[in-house]
Amino acid sequence: MPGLVSNISGSCVMGVYVFFRGKFYKDSNQKGEKTMKTKMKKLISIGTIALFALALLLDLGTVLADDDEKPAPSLACTIECHFAGHLGIFDDDGRLLVWTGEIDEDIEGVILWWFDLTGSKDTGLVKHYVARWEIWSDDPLEENSEAVLLLAGDDAGTTSVPPGKDGIWQGEGMVTEAYGEFEDWIGRHVHETGNVTWAIPGVLPLGGEGIFRIN
């Protein structure tokens, strides 16, 4: 069909070529379209990398936030106790002061146990107790004491009385009051355990030692 083509005075596009005045020429618009597609691909790639980097930063921020929210560590202490139940000292809620002692290690000060006599009972060789414990900077019972209350809480436990041996006491409780540097331990679990020596075996305690831990 040469005759038909020779009579065309305009142009005709065929694929990537343009037929103009009897000759084929390469279509520059196709090259422009390819260039534009290449640029778009690069922009998309850059955008993807930016989103990935943002996701990493968000993940890092979450990790750092989790680190900031970690709970305060456990406090592990040793205690040396002295029986005080025979002194007849009661608090304002009618609880009897039964034990006083020195507490050391992660907390240093004086510890007191006030027993609720209505919740304490004996079952065979096991004595059950319900108490309020307090940790002070110094002995609050001394005259003109400037002791500061650091921590306080409630607990309950048992003292086993094996014949001819030291007693074994253990209890569980919770921190209900915390002040100053110990504020972060409010609501934490308490575990206490140790031995009891006797003035009169199984009847009149003398003292004891053990551990006091806030988990």
The residues spanned by each domain of the chain are: 2-68, 75-214
Whether the pLDDT of residue 198 is over 70: the answer is yes
Residue 203 binned pLDDT confidence (cut-offs 50, 70, 90): confident
User: For residue 51, what pLDDT is reported?
Assistant: 52
Q: Which among 118, 105, 50, 33 has a CA at the least distance from the CA of 76?
A: 105
Highest mean pLDDT among 58-62, 101-105, 144-148: 101-105
Residue 69 binned pLDDT confidence (cut-offs 50, 70, 90): low
User: For residue 77, what pLDDT is reported?
Assistant: 98
Domain covering 75-214 in this structure, CATH number:
2.40.160
Measured distance CA(209)–CA(139) in Å, rounded: 18
User: For residue 36, what pLDDT is reported?
Assistant: 55
Contact 148, 182 (CB under 8 A): no
Measured distance CA(103)–CA(75) in Å, rounded: 12
Whether the pLDDT of residue 82 is over 90: the answer is yes
Angle at 168 between CA 165 and CA 170, to 5 degrees: 175
Q: Please list the residues that pair with 113 across neighbouring strands.
A: 99, 133
User: For residue 3, what pLDDT is reported?
Assistant: 40
Pick the residue with more confidence: 201 or 60?
Answer: 201
Q: Which of 59-73, 79-93, 151-165, 183-197 has the lowest mean pLDDT?
A: 59-73
Residue 45 binned pLDDT confidence (cut-offs 50, 70, 90): low
- Give the dihedral of Cα atoms 178, 148, 116, 98; nearest 10 deg: 130
pTM of the model: 0.68
Which phi-psi region, left, alpha or beta, contains residue 114 (left: φ > 0; alpha: ψ -120 to 50)? Answer: beta
For 75, phi then psi, to 5°, come to -115, 120
Residue 163 half-sphere exposure, CB side, CA atoms within 13 Å? 1
User: For residue 35, what pLDDT is reported?
Assistant: 56
Task: Please report the DSSP string for 47-60 in residue order.
Answer: HHHHHHHHHHHHHH
Residue 100 binned pLDDT confidence (cut-offs 50, 70, 90): very high
Whether the pLDDT of residue 191 is over 60: the answer is yes
For the chain, the distance separating the N- and C-terminal CA atoms, rounded to the nearest angstrom, is 97
Residue 167 binned pLDDT confidence (cut-offs 50, 70, 90): very high
Measured distance CA(116)–CA(31) in Å, rounded: 93
Mean per-residue pLDDT for 114-125?
Answer: 91
